[in-house]
């Protein structure tokens, strides 16, 4: 086996060039002043101070987190029952359902969001609701498929055993099915929450332009203002939050795995 | 099946033969210009249908034509080390590129068509001697409005202030950029759009907040074009060339340039300092300034040509934009201004603009 481990080298090189180096550059930009040559680097915390000195930026951050959390919760509420009933279907129908759910993903996300823009144009709801519709629509399949897979992997004899031991349908679900499907829910949360918190074109297209999120903020400071240092600082704050939330979900994952065993 | 395949192959072969037959003059670009590939970096939807193809055939070269959607994106790419031979940035960005020594001077002796250039846009403050830039398109920023739903006298009386008239709540498109929004607010208040006076800027900020509160506008960029063609809202801030297109597609729409002044801008061709192919770049500039190519550009895109013959032809009786008030910007507006490049102010405005949108 050991000799095969060399096969991992290409990925290590890939990750170093395309993930580690850019991350280091972002860290460097975030802690330096603008217009520095490599030789005259001046380190500073100003970019971070600027972020927290004005309530507008933390507000935008909070709004992004709120949007991502609510999107994730809606995805679980819609996705869990959908996945549950899908997993109960006959195998042919099941395959068909999976196909139907993945089908829209064959079309580019941006194109689908433009389509929603057209559909929702004359619907008299606020931009915020339109953004939620677009977000849930785009991320729901990830949630359904994760939960569905975990439900499908479950050993049916466990349910039979629960029934034999006198548990009714609800108790079986609550004490056997639900705990065993939590890992699926958690990987669903990871797949929905992380892209949702940093998404910027869905809010931009559906929110009518006055729905600014962290993603829009970063885009604005990199592309339009050209203030890469402040943009990097925002990206770094964002990356920290993502890391923390990943850590938390990982921890939940372990705990549920222990319960499952 | 085999038969079909043979037919397809035959016709492909025939096509490729005719393709070769009609190909190009016998210019040897390598001998003449030292290169046979030209890298052009231009705005999206900003070129005539046949301009690039004709240039390639006439000079027997290949043009790599790529697109940007803002001056800042172009600048970022250029600084990122991408090599281009022709760029088409706006006035204030040209000013910045010149300041940072990123452009090379144009040798006007090589531009035999320079006589075609319209005098009204030559020698503007961003490049007083046109040392570095050859105008491509020019225009203004104004208000497109639906004549049936908006009282024209409101627009004429109030100018940019009509945008925050609560009578038209929920029917307004604002342009989502700090530059254009603050230009509108400052001009509505009678100030210079290049002001550095913080009191004036705060006043403009409050003007924009009031607009946001009064009419709940949608902040858009290029989406405004299709939306106004479809008549989705009644008032919109639009660039003149896009307005010319909207007006020609939807006859309910009209265009107005406020008397209190607006932004007059010029997008011009420049040659980056690191161009590997300046000789061919000069040929390209010269080619674009021919009447044919300029006509094709202006007719396809709708912006005012930098070529005076084309301007005349387009606006003459029976011309393509005869009677279209948006096509030809004014050059005599006493309050009209060009943007000046000002990095510090840009940051201030950018932060304020985010606040406006977050109210």
**ipTM of the complex, rounded to two decimals:** 0.72
User: Cα angle at B41 between B38 and B42, to 5 degrees?
Assistant: 130
pLDDT above 60 (res A251): yes
The whole-angstrom distance between B349's CA and the closest CA on chain A is 9
**CATH code where residue A253 lies:** 1.10.3720.10
Kindly give the parts of chain B with pLDDT less than 70.
Answer: 1-25
**What pLDDT is recorded for position A56?**
87
CATH topology of B28-137+266-315 equal to that of B139-264+330-357?
Answer: yes
CB B103 within 8 A of CB B132: yes
pLDDT above 50 (res A235): yes
**What pLDDT is recorded for position A242?**
87
**What pLDDT is recorded for position B21?**
40
List CB contacts of B162: < 8 A, sequence separation 6 or more. Answer: B143, B145, B150, B154, B155, B168, B235
And the tokens for A129? 């609701």
Mean pLDDT of A121-142: 89
B45 is in an annotated binding site: yes
CB-based contact A209 B218, cutoff 8 Å: yes
Full residue range of the structural domain in which residue A85 is found: 62-260
Q: State the pairing for strand pair B133-146/B37-43.
A: unpaired
Domain-embedded: residue A195:
yes
**What pLDDT is recorded for position B166?**
94
**What pLDDT is recorded for position B126?**
93
pTM of the model: 0.80
**What pLDDT is recorded for position B19?**
44
> For B350, which of A59, A121, A225 is closest by C-beta distance?
A225
Which class does domain B28-137+266-315 fall in?
Answer: alpha beta
Q: What b/e string do you get for A99-124 counting C-beta neighbours within 10 Å, with b at 16 or more?
A: eebeeeeeeebeebbeebbeebeeee
**What pLDDT is recorded for position B197?**
96
CB-based contact B76 A217, cutoff 8 Å: no
**For chain B, how big is the Rg over CA atoms in Å?**
23
Q: Where are the alpha helices (DSSP H) in chain B?
A: 2-22, 29-33, 51-59, 71-79, 91-99, 152-158, 178-188, 198-215, 223-229, 240-249, 278-288, 291-301, 308-315, 343-357
A212 — contact with chain B (CB < 8 Å)?
A: yes
B212 — contact with chain A (CB < 8 Å)?
A: yes
**Which residues face B137 on adjacent strands?**
B267, B305
**Which residues face B304 on adjacent strands?**
B138
pLDDT confidence band for A205 (50 / 70 / 90): confident
Domain-embedded: residue A134:
yes
Q: At B142, is the secondary structure helix, strand, or coil?
A: strand
Pairs of residues, one from chain A and one from chain B, whose beta carbons lie less than 8 Å apart? 51
Domain-embedded: residue A51:
no
CA-closest candidate to residue A236, choices A48, A19, A12: A48
Q: At B265, is the secondary structure helix, strand, or coil?
A: strand
pLDDT confidence band for A213 (50 / 70 / 90): confident
Q: How many domains does chain A have?
A: 1
> For B358, which of A59, A222, A227 is closest by C-beta distance?
A59
Q: State the pairing for strand pair B37-43/B86-87.
A: parallel
User: For residue range A174-191, what is the model confidence (pLDDT) as tens digits?
Assistant: 888 888 898 899 999 989
And the tokens for A87? 């997993």
Q: Which carries the bigger pLDDT value, residue A203 or residue A254?
A: A203
And the tokens for B339? 């943007």
CB-based contact B212 A210, cutoff 8 Å: yes
The whole-angstrom distance between B356's CA and the closest CA on chain A is 8
- Domain ranges for chain B, please list them: 28-137+266-315, 139-264+330-357
User: For residue range A221-233, what is the model confidence (pLDDT) as tens digits?
Assistant: 887 777 888 999 9
Q: What b/e string do you get for A21-55 counting C-beta neighbours within 10 Å, with b at 16 or more?
A: eeeeebeebbbbebeeeeeeeeebebbbebbeeee
A123 — contact with chain B (CB < 8 Å)?
A: no
Q: For the domain made up of B139-264+330-357, give the CATH fold.
A: D-Maltodextrin-Binding Protein; domain 2 (3.40.190)
Lowest average pLDDT, out of A20-34, A245-259, B53-67, goes to: A245-259
Domain-embedded: residue A133:
yes
And the tokens for B337? 């201004």
Q: How far apart are CA B228 and CA B222, in angstroms?
A: 11
Domain-embedded: residue A222:
yes
**What pLDDT is recorded for position A234?**
93
**What pLDDT is recorded for position B339?**
92
B77 — contact with chain A (CB < 8 Å)?
A: no
Q: Compute the Cα dihedral for B230, B234, B237, B238 and give only its sign.
A: positive
């Amino acid at each position: 086996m050991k000799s095969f481990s060399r096969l991992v080298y290409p990925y290590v090189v890939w990750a170093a060039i395309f993930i580690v180096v850019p991350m280091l550059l972002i860290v460097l930009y975030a802690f330096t002043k603008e217009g520095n040559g490599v030789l005259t680097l001046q380190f500073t915390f100003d970019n971070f101070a600027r972020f927290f000195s004005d309530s507008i930026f933390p507000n935008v951050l909070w709004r992004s987190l709120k949007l991502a959390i609510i999107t994730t919760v809606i995805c679980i509420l819609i996705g869990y029952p959908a996945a549950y009933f899908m997993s109960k279907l006959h195998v042919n129908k099941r395959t068909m359902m999976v196909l139907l759910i993945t089908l829209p993903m064959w079309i580019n996300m941006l194109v689908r969001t433009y389509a929603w823009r057209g559909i929702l144009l004359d619907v008299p709801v606020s931009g915020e609701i339109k953004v939620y519709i677009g977000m849930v629509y785009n991320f729901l399949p990830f949630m359904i498929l994760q939960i569905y897979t975990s439900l499908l992997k479950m050993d049916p004899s466990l349910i039979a055993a629960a029934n034999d031991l006198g548990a009714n349908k609800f108790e079986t679900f609550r004490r056997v099915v639900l705990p065993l499907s939590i890992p699926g829910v958690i990987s669903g949360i990871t797949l929905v929450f992380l892209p949702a918190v940093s998404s910027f074109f869905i809010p931009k297209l559906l929110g009518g332009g006055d729905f600014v999120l962290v993603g829009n903020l970063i885009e604005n400071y990199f592309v339009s203002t050209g203030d890469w240092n402040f943009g990097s600082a925002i990206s770094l704050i964002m990356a920290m939050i993502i890391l923390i939330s990943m850590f938390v979900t990982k921890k939940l994952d372990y705990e549920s795995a222990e319960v499952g065993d | 099946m085999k038969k079909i395949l043979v037919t397809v192959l035959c016709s492909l072969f025939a096509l490729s033969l005719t393709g070769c037959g009609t190909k190009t003059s016998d210019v040897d670009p390598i001998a003449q210009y030292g290169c046979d590939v030209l890298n052009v970096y231009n705005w999206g939807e900003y070129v005539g249908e046949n301009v690039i193809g004709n240039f390639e055939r006439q000079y027997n070269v290949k043009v790599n034509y790529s697109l940007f959607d803002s001056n800042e994106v172009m600048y970022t790419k250029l600084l990122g080390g991408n090599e281009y031979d022709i760029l088409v940035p706006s006035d204030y960005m040209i000013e910045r590129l010149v300041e940072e020594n990123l452009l090379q001077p144009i040798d006007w002796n090589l531009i035999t068509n320079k006589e075609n250039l319209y005098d009204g846009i030559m020698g503007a403050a961003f490049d007083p001697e046109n040392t570095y830039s050859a105008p491509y398109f020019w225009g203004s920023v104004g208000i497109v409005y639906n004549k049936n739903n908006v009282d024209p006298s409101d627009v004429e009386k109030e100018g940019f202030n009509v945008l925050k008239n609560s009578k038209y709540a929920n029917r307004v498109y604002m342009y989502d950029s700090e530059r254009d929004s603050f230009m509108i607010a400052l001009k509505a208040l009678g100030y210079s759009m290049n002001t550095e006076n913080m009191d004036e800027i705060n006043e403009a900020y409050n003007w924009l907040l009031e607009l946001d509160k009064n009419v709940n506008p949608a902040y858009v960029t290029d989406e405004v074009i299709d939306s106004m063609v479809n008549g989705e809202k009644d008032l919109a801030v639009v660039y003149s060339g896009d307005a010319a297109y909207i007006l020609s597609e939807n006859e309910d729409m009209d265009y107005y340039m406020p008397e209190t002044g607006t932004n007059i801008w010029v997008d011009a061709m420049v040659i980056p300092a690191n161009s590997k192919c300046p000789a061919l770049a000069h040929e390209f500039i010269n080619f674009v300034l021919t009447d044919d190519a300029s006509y094709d550009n202006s007719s396809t895109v709708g912006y005012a040509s930098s070529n005076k013959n084309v301007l005349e032809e387009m606006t003459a009786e029976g011309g393509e934009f005869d009677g279209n008030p948006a096509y030809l910007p004014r050059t005599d507006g006493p309050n009209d201004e060009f943007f000046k490049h000002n990095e510090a102010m840009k940051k201030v405005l950018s932060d304020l603009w985010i606040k406006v949108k977050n109210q």
